[in-house]
A and B are shown apart, each in its own frame.
Chain A
Amino acid sequence: MSVIDIKGLHKSFGDLEVLKGIDLAIETGEVVVIIGPSGSGKSTLLRCLNFLEYPTEGEIRVNGELIDPKKTDLDKVRQHMGMVFQHFQLFPHKNVLHNITIAPMNVKNATRKAANMVARDLLQKVGLPDKEKAWPSQLSGGQKQRVAIARALAMDPDIMLFDEVTSALDPELVNEVLQVMQDLAAGGMTMVVVTHEMGFAREVASRVIMMDDGRIIEEGTPEQLFGDPQEERTRMFLSQVL
């Protein structure tokens, strides 16, 4: 069964139609990388997956269950999906440890002790075991983003969504974040990644999706898409970013 199954997804902001009919199924353990020019609807698609944006039209099933944003308890749905944002969005008034424990303790009613244990384990995993007492403002961009990943993982999600998570980073900090994501993929996490990092897409993706103008215009394995793109627009895009 697909973790997420989308049929005929449309999304408009006022008169502007950003998504013009998306069909996409994400299977357990897949790493789906979405590429495409800016304004093509990649981020909007990602944000529809955990209902930060409500679809204008179309069906989204999560673990087989059809979601109606007006009726389904979206808080419950989101608990199973982690999201990492371009601008980190760590909580500035909480230290690193509390950033990671706040959701498990308040949403899942985890005890402080259990939450701390999970958090320390995750900080180890993202390579920041000595930063639990630090304030977000004391961290570099790469460190912030790794904490943000740990924070999302602390809810033990079935799927992780990454929204251009390296775009706001200084170039020398990009790799430490990509490395964490690569480890995560190697560990079997289901992931949907919107990115401009073609190297990452090539090495880590199990499937690459090319979007343009609100539609999926081409998809395939990295070898297919990068090695032998079928669409003219894909070729154009790749020639500009590679």
Chain B
Amino acid sequence: MTLLNVVQDYFWGFLIATGMTLRLTAVSLVLAVVIGLLFAFLKISKYRVANIIADAYIGITRGMPLIVQLMFLYFGISSIVTLTAFWAGSFALALHAGGYVAEILRGAIQNVDRGQTEAARSLGMSHGMSMRLIVLPQAVRRAIPPLGNQFIIGLKDSSLVAFLGVPELFSKAMTAAAANYSPFNTYLVAGTYYLVLVIIFTWLVHKLETRLTPYRQEATR
């Protein structure tokens, strides 16, 4: 099959599968941020037990291949609780990315000048209030570039969920390539879909960053 044939035959099919890829990515990344924030707080907590739990979680999720975690969650856990392939995939992606997100957020929170907290506390704010109003807003803004990076990795990692049988972009591409005997052209087209998604996403992250940091445009401290 020529490249043109591949595009003609699979354009819509791949586009629909891209919808599934986006759903997987969106669900897993929202979960990853929630998980990441939770473990970031455990990691900076003054309680030793919380630190250990966070270290263990981050160590495990970062220390094992994503495909192993995917298989474990789908085939391993589903002997206890039944998870659909979509949710097993989303959870595995989220747990995996969550470890990285936790580290990104922890770094961002700890990089906010301690003097900011002191200034907030000196005004009579409680610890929680100074965290919520002063530290976190600054940390999140600083975390946007590395988070964006992590989200792009998450988008591409979602292709591994193909091995659980979720009909997303890469799984469609594999099926197509097996049927039409033109793997080169087929994967080239599928790869271009990912590339376009990543380019759009990068642009969105950049927009968000400029939008959320108006004060940084003339920044000299």
Contact = CB atoms under 8 A, between A and B. Distances in A.
B218 to A, nearest CB: 6
Contacts of B220: 137
Contacts of A145: none
B216 A152 contact: no
Contacts of A81: 122
B121 interface: yes
Given A91-B134, A137-B215, A137-B218, A155 B119 contact: no
A52 B123 contact: no
B122 A75 contact: no
Interface string A99-122: 000110011100000000000000
Interface in A110-144: 135-138
B115 interface: yes
16 contacts: A78-B122, A79-B124, A85-B118, A91-B119, A91-B134, A92-B221, A93-B141, A93-B213, A106-B129, A135-B214, A135-B215, A136-B215, A137-B216, A137-B220, A148-B119, A151-B123
Interface string A50-87: 10100000000000000000000001101101110101
Contacts of B125: 75, 103, 106-107
A87 B126 contact: no
A224 interface: no
B221 A137 contact: yes
A90 B118 CA distance: 11
Interface string B23-51: 00000000000000000000000000000
Given A93-B215, A102-B133, A135-B214, A87 B115 contact: yes
Chain A, interface size: which category?
20 to 34
Contacts of B123: 78-79, 82, 102-103, 107, 151-152, 155
From A82, A103, A108, A138, residue with most partner B Cβ within 10 Å: A103
Contacts of A38: none
A230 interface: no
A75 B126 contact: yes
B21 interface: no
A179 interface: no
B116 A52 contact: no
A89 interface: yes
B186 interface: no
Interface in B57-107: none
Contacts of B219: 137
Interface of A: 50, 52, 75-76, 78-79, 81-83, 85, 87, 89-93, 95, 102-103, 106-108, 135-138, 148, 151-152, 155
Contacts of B141: 93
Contact of A107 (B129, B134, B216, B221): B129
A89 B119 contact: yes
B175 to A, nearest CB: 48
B39 to A, nearest CB: 24
Contacts of B115: 85, 87, 89
Contacts of B129: 106-107
Contacts of A135: 214-215, 218
Nearest to B119: A89
Given A75-B125, A76-B124, A136-B215, 15 more contacts: A52-B118, A78-B121, A78-B123, A79-B124, A82-B123, A87-B115, A93-B138, A95-B215, A103-B124, A135-B218, A137-B215, A137-B221, A138-B218, A151-B123, A155-B124
A78 B123 CA distance: 6
Contacts of A87: 115
A50 B113 CA distance: 19
